[in-house]
Amino acid sequence: NAGVTQTPKFRVLKTGQSMTLLCAQDMNHEYMYWYRQDPGMGLRLIHYSVGEGTTAKGEVPDGYNVSRLKKQNFLLGLESAAPSQTSVYFCASSFGLAGALAEQFFGPGTRLTVL
């Protein structure tokens, strides 16, 4: 099992450009999440999904969109990148509604720089 994978690993964008980050998991997890990690701020939830075809806003959703067309994939889009979106982005997944199995599994991250 590959677990949770993310592409690309690194990306540099210019202000105003768009891009899509792809997250894939092969653990048949129902729930998937996108976080951003910034120094001194821990991880903050951008968007999440509790199943194929459903998405919801997290703590810091502005400037991002997501889609979950297939259960195993969760896409994060930046329509018009801004320097404030320079960050490391992590995808995670977990089983659904399984309290004893509530831990999330994380991908390796995507380091995004917006100039």
Partner 1 sequence: AQSVAQPEDQVNVAEGNPLTVKCTYSVSGNPYLFWYVQYPNRGLQFLLKYITGDNLVKGSYGFEAEFNKSQTSFHLKKPSALVSDSALYFCAVRFPNYGGATNKLIFGTGTLLAVQP
Q: Could you list the residues that contact partner 1 (CB under 8 A)? A: 4, 31, 33, 35, 40-45, 48, 50, 56, 58, 90, 92, 94-97, 99-100, 102-109
CB of 98 to partner 1, least distance (A): 8
Distance of alpha carbon 36 from alpha carbon 46, whole angstroms: 7
Residue with Cβ nearer partner 1 (19 or 43): 43
Residue with Cβ nearer partner 1 (26 or 79): 26
CB of 83 to partner 1, least distance (A): 22
Report the side by side order of strands in the sheet with 4-7. 4-7, 19-25, 73-78, 65-67
Angle at 86 between CA 82 and CA 88, to 5 degrees: 145
CB of 107 to partner 1, least distance (A): 5
Q: CA torsion, points 25, 60, 66, 54, in degrees to nearest 10? A: 80
